């Protein structure tokens, strides 16, 4: 077991992800800027912003807190503009820094504010949901939504550091925890068998052992960090992180987001597990079925694959008319396949239906 997990993200310049219980009240020495815009939401802010604000102030920093409503609607042009204008009015300059405290919504929004304010200022990520910890806070993708679609406007803007305090799980609802668990499990399939085993532990829960949680979160981040370091701008191997996401995006769009992301990904992972097994690639069916049992996703209420196929065709990641599938040859060895036939899709869908009905 790693004592104080720490992961390096080897992009240029590289940065560190610190995973430690209680780090929110100790991080000030790692922040060099004096003026800090602390951006949070109205659920996380009342719980943790003052902890962070006090630590930063005690270290002599000048902190202003900006709170936006929680939820996806805050990833909007209006909210983005309002924050930029407030920072301007409050006299922030290019030597200031943004600290993002919250889930993936805050990480993406505050990250994009930092990327844009005066053509880019420093940002530190303090993710508080499991999804933001293992996925959104690492890799430098920032952005907002427009009515035409999610995440269509944004920038690559790497943080200077990421601070993960597993103590914040104390307030994270179980269902939110499970959304992040899907990405963590995906990282296990992509590169780290030990994650797949750890997930079955009773400690894998918001109230679980802090050292255990720090360790598994750090392992999962390491998988993403290693992929990002090889392909910062998503030109190639970073697409492997989309394992399970092709069907998931179809489910999310078809259900108008009634099925949350992590739950859609859980269905998506079982689907690609069948596609792979049917081709004689990896057989991870039992492991993914056990994970599905743990997640207990929202029922789909859909027996026909056709509506999902229609939505998948409109996905922005669907390139040049070819549906690209990320499949596992083995645990730890993903590949991109472009010749999956309709018959293969229908067979995997039937197998998935048998499992969930």
Ligand X SMILES: NC(=O)c1ccc[n+]([C@@H]2O[C@H](COP(=O)([O-])OP(=O)(O)OC[C@H]3O[C@@H](n4cnc5c(N)ncnc54)[C@H](O)[C@@H]3O)[C@@H](O)[C@H]2O)c1
Q: Smallest gap, in angstroms, from Cβ of residue 275 to ligand X?
A: 23
Residue the block writes with tokens 């009240």: 25
Beta bridge partners of 154: 143
Residues 68-97: x where in contact with ligand X by CB under 6 A, - otherwise, as a string:
--xxx--x----------------------
Find the part of the chain contacting ligand X (CB under 6 A) among 112-120, 172-180, 187-195, 347-355.
172-180
Structure tokens, 283:
């057989």
Q: Does 22 bind ligand X (CB under 6 A)?
A: no
Name the residue nearer to ligand X (CB basis): 227 or 312. Answer: 227
From candidates 57, 151, 230, 353, binder to ligand X by CB under 6 A: 151
Q: Smallest gap, in angstroms, from Cβ of residue 96 to ligand X?
A: 22
CA separation for the pair 77, 96 (Å, rounded): 22
Q: Smallest gap, in angstroms, from Cβ of residue 307 to ligand X?
A: 23
CA separation for the pair 325, 317 (Å, rounded): 11
Q: In terms of Cα–Cα distance, which of 113, 152, 164 is closest to 9?
A: 164
User: Angle 214-217-223 (CA atoms, 0-180°, nearest 5)?
Assistant: 140
Q: Smallest gap, in angstroms, from Cβ of residue 167 to ligand X?
A: 9
Residue the block writes with tokens 């998931």: 248
Write the CB contacts of 94 (distance below 8 Å, at least 6 apart in sequence): 118, 119, 121
Q: Are 212 and 203 in contact (CB under 8 A)?
A: yes
Count residues contacting ligand X (CB under 6 A)? 27
Q: Does 297 bind ligand X (CB under 6 A)?
A: no
CA separation for the pair 305, 323 (Å, rounded): 15
Find the part of the chain contacting ligand X (CB under 6 A) among 4-12, 55-63, 128-136, 300-308.
128-136
Q: Does 136 bind ligand X (CB under 6 A)?
A: yes
Q: In terms of Cα–Cα distance, which of 177, 186, 166, 176 is closest to 72?
A: 176
Q: Does 167 bind ligand X (CB under 6 A)?
A: no
Q: Smallest gap, in angstroms, from Cβ of residue 102 to ligand X?
A: 5
Query: Which residues contribute to the site for ligand X (CB under 6 A)?
Result: 41, 43-44, 70-72, 75, 102-106, 108, 128-129, 131-132, 135-136, 139, 141, 151, 168, 171-172, 176, 179
């Amino acid at each position: 077991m790693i004592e104080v997990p720490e992961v390096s993200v080897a992009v240029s310049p590289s940065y560190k992800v610190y995973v430690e219980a209680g780090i929110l009240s100790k991080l000030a020495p790692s922040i060099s800027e004096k003026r800090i815009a602390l951006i949070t939401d109205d659920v996380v802010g009342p719980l943790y912003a003052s902890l962070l604000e006090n630590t930063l102030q005690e270290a002599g920093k000048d902190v202003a807190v900006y709170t936006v409503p929680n939820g996806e609607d805050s990833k909007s042009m209006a909210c983005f503009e309002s924050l930029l204008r407030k920072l301007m009015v409050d006299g922030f300059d290019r030597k200031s820094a943004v600290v993002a405290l919250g889930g993936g919504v805050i990480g993406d929004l505050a990250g994009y504010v930092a990327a844009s304010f005066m053509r880019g200022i420093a940002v530190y990520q303090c993710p508080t949901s499991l999804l933001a910890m293992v996925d959104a806070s690492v890799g430098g993708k920032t952005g907002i939504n427009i009515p035409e679609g999610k995440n269509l406007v944004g920038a690559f803007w790497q943080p200077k550091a990421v601070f993960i305090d597993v103590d914040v799980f104390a307030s994270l609802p179980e269902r939110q925890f499970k959304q992040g668990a899907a990405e963590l499990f995906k990282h296990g399939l992509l590169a780290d068998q030990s994650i797949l085993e750890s997930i079955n532990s009773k400690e894998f829960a918001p109230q679980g052992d802090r050292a255990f949680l720090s360790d598994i979160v750090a392992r999962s981040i390491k998988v993403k960090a290693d992929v990002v370091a090889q392909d910062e701008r998503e030109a190639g191997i970073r697409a492997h992180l989309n394992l399970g996401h092709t069907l998931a995006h179809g489910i999310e769009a078809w259900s108008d987001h009634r099925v949350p992301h992590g739950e859609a990904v859980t269905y998506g992972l079982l689907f690609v597990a069948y596609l792979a097994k049917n081709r004689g690639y990896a057989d991870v069916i039992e492991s993914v079925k056990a994970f599905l049992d743990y997640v207990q996703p929202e029922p789909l209420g859909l027996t026909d694959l056709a509506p999902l196929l229609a939505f998948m065709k409109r996905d922005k990641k669907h390139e040049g008319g070819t549906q690209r599938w990320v499949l596992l040859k083995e645990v730890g060895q993903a590949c991109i396949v472009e010749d999956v036939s309709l018959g293969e899709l229908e067979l995997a869908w039937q197998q998935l239906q048998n499992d969930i009905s």
